[in-house]
A and B are shown apart, each in its own frame.
Chain A
Amino acid sequence: MTDLEIVSRLPQDERCLLMPLVRTTKTFWLWAGLMAAITLWSAFAYVYQLRNGLGVTGLNTPEYWGIYIICFVFFIGISHAGTLISAILRVAHAEWRRSITRSAEFITVLVIGFGAVQPILDLGRPDRVLNVFLHSQPFSPLLWDVLSIGLYFTASSVYLYVPMIPDLALIRDLGLRPRLLYRFLAIGYHDTPEARHTLERIIAVLAVAVIPIAVSVHTVIGWIFSLTLRPMWHSTIFGPYFVMGAIFSGIAALIIAMAILRRVYRLEAYFKDIHFNNMGLLLLVMTVLWSYFTLAENLTVWYGGEEAELATLYSKLSGEFALPFWLMVALCSVVPFALMARRGTRGVTGTVVASVGVVIGMWLERFNIVVPTSYHPRFQLPEVHYLPSWVELSIMAGTFSGFILVYMVATKFFPIISIWEIKEGREKSIAEVSERVAAYLPDDLAAVKP
């Protein structure tokens, strides 16, 4: 019997969710080929940069940081899609999480490497990157960053892997190929009630543990900027602002991923309208929060009225960076609010449109943080503008395509929706939730002990 035949005979949940592992369409190969080609092109661009130095970028004095650092902040932000959202939903016992946690956790683990590599692409001497360990200087926020991202990657990988073990054991027992991979990854797990109980306790602990780690990651990235004396970087709001923005862009990325998965793998029965509605509500909350933080950030600078700060602020409000600034406001605030505040537009199309806007808007936000401040030092104002070169744009394109490619490949080896959690939801949740609701109701007066 082929793998496809085995899977075709299974009950609905297993059949639908394992089908992507055993059946690959031509469209998949087409897209994978395209993504691989773009990624290869970016690898060529990087080799070109390695041979010629950072002179091949559009960077200059004092615009020392550009696309790479923007993408670093952006992609690590996207990585907050998974671990943080999934952990918060798990901790909150949100029942609708069951079909979306896995796809979210995969985003985290797969995108984090693409984010973490950006500062290395940005190094003048990537050959000396190990100096970070050999000559560590513990007061540098960059070192804190290396540590927190390392910890985050480890924790979110474990947090992706552990809840996947029962599914891996199922695949192993079905005998799908590559058998060795699944036998190795399932680490001898057998789905007994005791094993399940232990597993769920570990997941509960992990879900709580990854939340502060995720918060620390983007806080530290915010501190990289805010611990310098630069106008509009030196601000206490940056830590929480970055964390909030990361969750914001993470939710948007997750909505887009869910919509694509639903379409290409025929998962309409699992990613239902209610899921998009609920994710849309989360997006709405973050839209309002983002608008509040942005207002607070800019109002403080404007009212304080310090000369160097104002020069940077006005360059965004009405100067050379007005277009990216107001486009960001439109895409992060106006568009998602208008769409997500109405029940009628919180369907699949509405949430996806809002999410695409938010992802682009959040990229622009990183641009508006990095570039305008670089362009406005306190002394020695520059005469030229930073414009990214073809090398930087190619590497950025390659980062997107590389991430999409590994995500596509991951869906071919691992069920992108947790099978056992869906089944557990069918078997146990209704009784559990009824019990929980019953527990909230007032007791009989007679039964209450004074």
Chain B
Amino acid sequence: MPRWGMAIDLDRCNGCQGCEVACRSENNIAVAGPEAAKQNRTIFWIKVHTEIEGEWPSVRARFVPQLCMHCDRPPCTAVCPVEATSLDRDGIVNQIYSRCIGCRYCANACPYTVKYFNWKRPSYPESVVPSLNPDVSVRPVGVIEKCTFCHHRLQKARDVARAEDRPLREGDYTPACAEACPTRAIVFGDLDDPAQRVAQLSRGPRAFRLGEELGTEPKVYYLAKQD
């Protein structure tokens, strides 16, 4: 079984937020509006955080895209009373929107704050409605949602590979954020396949993970800044 994971090169990320836009349109993420933004109620499956280091004139900005870490030991799945979130065979932490009771326990248990709650009924600007992605279900009010590593793309890639009677190859399955990244900062693939780039990067000297000391074993690696 592949173990899907990601490596994000912080040297290459220039903070363009292309991944956020690609993710939003791929996954039908509701547009909450400025009012909700003021209340901290927006939903971003991937979000580019900006950290400003130092003081003028020696200032430097650091961009850290944050998304669900798809932990191998996820704290969020253990606490769910209805098993609406769990670690599946592919190593992806999934969400069952139609079963979630909306208690937000998983969101509290997640140390990375990457699980989002639908405080309101989802809404979209009229211009977006015709281009909603039919492969991804729209989440109702009152449930938790988060990054799924574009799991629907894995299903499609598998179908194609099966039809062509061949195993999955590197590049068959790529989430929207990795695909859209103009600087190729986001690398995706099977962490257990030493031939794949993501596996090599994740084993490299620059690789680290957020909150490593918590023992959650995230599958999103960051490559530390060098320059």
The residues of A with any CB-CB pair to B shorter than 8 Å are 52-55, 59-65, 119, 122-126, 128-129, 131-132, 134-137, 139-143, 146, 224, 227-230, 374, 377-380, 382-384
Contacts and interface: CB of A to CB of B under 8 A. Distances in A.
B141 A53 contact: yes
A228 B80 CA distance: 12
Given A125-B143, A380-B113, A55 B120 contact: yes
Contact of B117 (A61, A135, A143, A384): A61
A137 B83 contact: yes
B210 interface: yes
B65 interface: no
Contacts of B216: 229
A92 B117 CA distance: 49
Contacts of A54: 102, 117, 119, 142
B103 to A, nearest CB: 6
A382 B40 contact: yes
A136 B81 contact: yes
A137 B100 CA distance: 12
Given A64-B107, A124-B117, A124-B143, A379 B41 contact: no
Nearest to B36: A55
Nearest to A224: B105
B156 interface: no
A135 B108 contact: no
B142 A53 contact: yes
B3 interface: no
B81 A132 contact: yes
B79 A228 contact: yes
A4 to B, nearest CB: 50
Contacts of A227: 79
Interface in B24-46: 38-42
Contacts of A125: 100-102, 140, 142-143
B108 A379 contact: no
A135 B142 contact: no
Given A53-B120, A135-B82, A229-B111, A124 B103 contact: yes
27 contacts: A52-B120, A54-B117, A54-B142, A60-B119, A61-B40, A61-B117, A62-B107, A119-B103, A124-B102, A125-B100, A125-B101, A125-B140, A128-B100, A131-B99, A135-B99, A136-B81, A137-B80, A142-B79, A142-B103, A143-B81, A229-B109, A379-B112, A379-B113, A380-B47, A382-B40, A383-B40, A384-B40
Interface of B: 38-42, 47, 49, 66, 75, 78-84, 99-105, 107-109, 111-114, 116-121, 140-144, 210-211, 214, 216
Contacts of B214: 229, 378
B83 A135 contact: yes
B142 A124 contact: yes
Chief secondary structure at chain A's binding surface: loop
B131 to A, nearest CB: 25
B85 to A, nearest CB: 10
Contacts, number: 142
A143 B102 CA distance: 14
B92 to A, nearest CB: 18
B33 to A, nearest CB: 12
Given A137-B83, A378-B112, A60 B75 contact: no
Can you list the 3 inter-chain pairs with the closest CB atoms, starting with the nearest?
A124-B102, A124-B142, A60-B40
A146 B112 CA distance: 27
A275 B89 CA distance: 62
A61 B103 contact: no
Task: With a 10 A CB-CB cut-off, give which of A52, A60, A379 has the most chain B CB atoms.
Answer: A379
Contacts of B101: 123-126, 128-129, 131-132
Contacts of A55: 41, 119-120, 141
A249 B48 CA distance: 45
A227 B77 CA distance: 12
Contacts of A378: 111-113, 211, 214
B1 to A, nearest CB: 23
A203 B4 CA distance: 59
A65 B108 CA distance: 8
Contacts of B116: 61
A134 B98 CA distance: 13
A53 to B, nearest CB: 4
Contact of A380 (B66, B100, B143): B66
B79 A140 contact: yes
Nearest to A385: B40
Nearest to B116: A61
A60 B141 contact: no
Contact of A123 (B75, B103, B210): B103
Contacts of B102: 54, 123-125, 128
A378 B103 CA distance: 21
B82 A61 contact: no
A124 B141 contact: yes
A224 B105 CA distance: 9
Nearest to B216: A229
B83 A64 contact: no
Nearest to A373: B108
Contact of B49 (A63, A122, A380, A383): A380
